[in-house]
Every structure is written in C-alpha cells, then in structure tokens.
A and B are shown apart, each in its own frame.
Chain A
Amino acid sequence: MTTTHSGRDEVAEAVKRLVIRESRLSLSPADIADDEPLNGAVLRINSLGFLGMLVRLEDELDVTLPDDLFTGKVFTVVSDLVDVVLRAVEEHR
C-alpha cells in the first residue's frame, strides 16, 4: 500500500494533538514541527505517558497497534513516532 499525503497528514495531526495534550500545552498541531523533540524544551513525554498516548491514538485512528511495534525502538522527534504509527495504520487498518 502506498502512503497518501492525506493519510500521513491525518496521522501526523493526531500524533501532534496527543503529544500536545500529554505535555499539558495549549497549542495547535500546526505549532509543532515534525522535528520537534518528544522530550525537550517544548514537549514533555515520558515513557509511560508515551504508551498511554499510543493507546488513545488507537481509539482516535481506529486501529490496533501490535504489541511489539515499539519494543527496542528509540523515539527522538515527533516524526519518528508518526512514521511508525503510519506504518502500523497501513498494515493493520
């Protein structure tokens, strides 16, 4: 399956909405750059908060992410997360 721009945009917006909420910020998704660090000066995502966020992302995108999707992976910036979730959405939707 090829990635459509709208598919990536939809996932990216959902991811950004959740990282904003998880960091307890009042920003819009457009304010968050793809290369914004997940745990840095603006966003404050810890490992457990990250996981809770993924489960809420499942509800939002109506997809079940596989249990091993994140095992052994390190996420630095927002687009790292968008890439992995997008792949899972395409494979498991």
Chain B
Amino acid sequence: MKAWRSVLPHLGYDLPPDLTPERAEGPVSTGLPLELVRQSISMREWWDIPEEVVAQYRKYRPTPLWRATAFEQEIDARVPVYVKYEGGNISGSHKLNTALAQAFYYKRAGITEVVTGTGAGQWGTALAAACAAFGLRCTVFMVGGSLRDKPYRGSLMRLLGATVHASPSGLTSLKEGGNSLALAIGEAVEYARGGEGRAFCIGSGENYSILHQSVIGLEAAEQLQALGAEVDTVVGSVGAGSNFGGVALPFHARHRAGEAEAVRLLAVESSATPKLTRGVYAYDHTDATGSGPMEAMYSIGSSFPIPASHSAGLRFHGAAKLLSAMRHHGSIDAVAVGQREALDAGRRFAVSELVVPAPESGHALAGAARAARESERGVLVCVSGHGLLDLSAYDQLLAGRVRDLAADDGALAAATAGLRLVEADLTGVK
C-alpha cells in the first residue's frame, strides 16, 4: 500500500469548525506538524505514504483477511463473514498504523519527545513502538486502574523504551476531573507543555489518524476483490473511531467515487459509553484540562462518570468529529453492545477461529453477528486487536462475573445538559 485515501472530499459538506474555549487566552504555540494539519483539513483525496513509514508497514502489512466460516456456524450467520485482523503487530492493535505515521512527522518537525495518554494501553504501546522505530523519546500517561489490571501493558511499553506513568500521576496539576481517560490525556497535554522538544500526541479521533487507518479498508477491499467476495456491511468497534473509520470509510469513498455499490457502515459502541446511539451532537472538550478547542462530536459529556469496564479502549466520552458528522448526515449506523455480549462474541470467535480478540473487538464481533443475520451479501468486520493481555476479562466471563453497565438516563442528561448543540451552528454545511 503506497497511499492513504481521505474521505473528506467525498462528504459533500464541511466539518463544523472547532471552537476556542472561553477561558483560553495568551500567546499561541504549537507542536503539531503541519503535514498532519494538511491531512486533517485538505480536500486532497490520496496521500503518498512516506517511504520510511512504508518500510515499517512492510514488517506487518498486509494484515490477514479471511472468511471466518467456523465463526459463521457459531453465530448462525446467513451470509459470509470476513475478518480483517489488525492484532498481529507488536502493539497488538491497529493503532500502530497511525502511531508510525505520527512519530515520523513529529520527528521531521524537530520534536524529540512525544507525550500521550492511553486507556487500555494499546495506543500507548503503539506509540512506544513507533518512537522506538524512529528514535524518539516517549512518555505515556495510562489510566491507573487499567495499568493495574493489565500490568503487562506497562511492561511492553517499558520494553520498547517508553516512560510510563499511572494517571493520576501527581506530576501535573490535574488530580481529578472528567473521566479517567480524559484525565490521562489532560495530564499528557499539561506535561507536554512543560519541556523543550516535547509534543502532545493524540491517538484516535483526529482526521489524520483516521486517514492513516485507511490502509485497513483499502487493503481489505483489495483482498475481498482477490477472493471474488462481496460484502454489503462493514463493521468496527468505536472508542473514538479510528479502527472503524479505517475499515469503513474507504468503502464509503469508493461508493461516492462511483467505484462500488454502497455498503452499510455499522459502528459498534459499548452500552457503557453510548455516544452514537444515546449521546447528543454537540461541542465538547476532548480532554480534562478543557484548554483545547471544543469539537463537534456525538458525546455523552466529558464529565460523564464512565464505569470501569473490560473495554478501556471504548471508554471515551465522544466520537471522532469526522464520524460524528457522518452519523449526523445519516451515513453511519450505530448499535450499542453490552460487555457480556461482547466478551461472549469474543469467546465464540476464539473457540471457532482460534484467535483471541480484544474485548473492544468483541463488540465489533457481536455487532457483526447481529449484522450477519440481516445482511444479504456478506459482512466485513475489523478485529482491531488481540486479547492476550486481556485474559482476566475472559476469566471473569467464564466465572459468570461480568456485569452489563448500561449508561443511566439521568446521568447522561446531566452530563450533556450544558453542551451547545451543533444543530444551532451548521455553518460548514454546503
């Protein structure tokens, strides 16, 4: 794969502009490489992947795609189910696809240390690996409870040379505020401001992350074509949305460009963080400091108290602004799945296909199982990561101790009550 494909020129509308928080004042500075900004806002469709990044991709790409016939039998599917598996690299997830690109661009911009926040640790591990590949220092703030539950995530990041802090860390002024992932991200933002050559690097939701992840869907489309296979539904789990965007949006772009028929894009989220199915389309913060711009997103509110779950990667309060806009315009379907159904889908996938999926990917598989009973031609599902560092979740499933934690109506209403709805400001719509 030599180029990423952007969906932006195929939307037919602009994304609502970000808003500056009222309390932000003073000088402006930035550590974000301009190329990432170009990739976020330009209407260019194809972006050459830098040779250095292609060389890294060759170590684990193309990733496997196969027809999961044993899983089809397990779930009583009426159509073929094809799996695109992104868990086979050292980070264990799709996140390496953008981490490598981001590390490359930060290095080229003169940055020497990148700082980030991570929930489940998949993003932190991916960034640690990418920094090792490109010779950058890496500092990771990981949600403390998640780090305690999955100590080997920390081990892997340290093995790759990263410095790992459990959040709240005591190293920044942030002690509490927002949910735990928003706090870890907030700590990373503050820490990055405090040192020369440091830059904060965000994981999933930005347009450029989703662009880099387009390798998943572009490869999958080629692999399906080589198999002579057709699908009418593309499924992925949504935390902020990068693996879903990666697998699904190239199919949307193909259709809009007149190259293929339309497919149903099905986003599967956790019923504990149901932003796309029960959230509001509003301007909200992306981190707990509240110092960054407010983005138009489907959100359950950055102050919503998200309960602990086995799918820390889905525990973000908002969906990426690109996916949110597409949801708003009717291009994306969404369902929420409880963690018991998700882990059970993961278990059934493990026993049938002999691959242990991450709990996050279990949500996608549960969504795919539902879609496989509705689809006419076939389902493509992205299994974004492996679950070999999440085995305690499967232990709890087998012991009957997994509880579903659907978001409470009152708490959702309270956390979104003060948000400014996007409907009032669709200045970007053509």
Contact = CB atoms under 8 A, between A and B. Distances in A.
Contact of A52 (B37, B105, B111): B37
B28 A72 contact: no
The range of chain A's interface size is: 20 to 34
Interface of B: 17-18, 20-21, 24-35, 37-38, 40-42, 105, 108-111, 196-197, 199, 292-293
A48 B24 CA distance: 12
Contact of B34 (A44, A46, A67, A73): A67
Contacts of B197: 72
A49 B293 contact: yes
A31 B307 CA distance: 51
**Residue among B17, B33, B38, B196 having the largest count of chain A Cβ atoms under 10 Å:** B38
B199 to A, nearest CB: 8
Given A52-B41, A70-B30, A75-B27, 6 more contacts: A39-B24, A56-B41, A58-B38, A68-B108, A68-B110, A75-B28
Given A52-B37, A72-B197, A39 B27 contact: yes
B105 A67 contact: yes
Contacts of A12: none
A74 B27 contact: yes
Contacts of A69: 34
A39 B28 contact: yes
Contact of A48 (B33, B196, B292): B292
Nearest to A41: B25
A76 B27 contact: yes
12 contacts: A39-B24, A47-B32, A50-B28, A50-B30, A55-B34, A55-B38, A67-B110, A71-B109, A71-B111, A71-B199, A74-B28, A75-B29
Contacts of A75: 27-29
A71 B18 contact: no
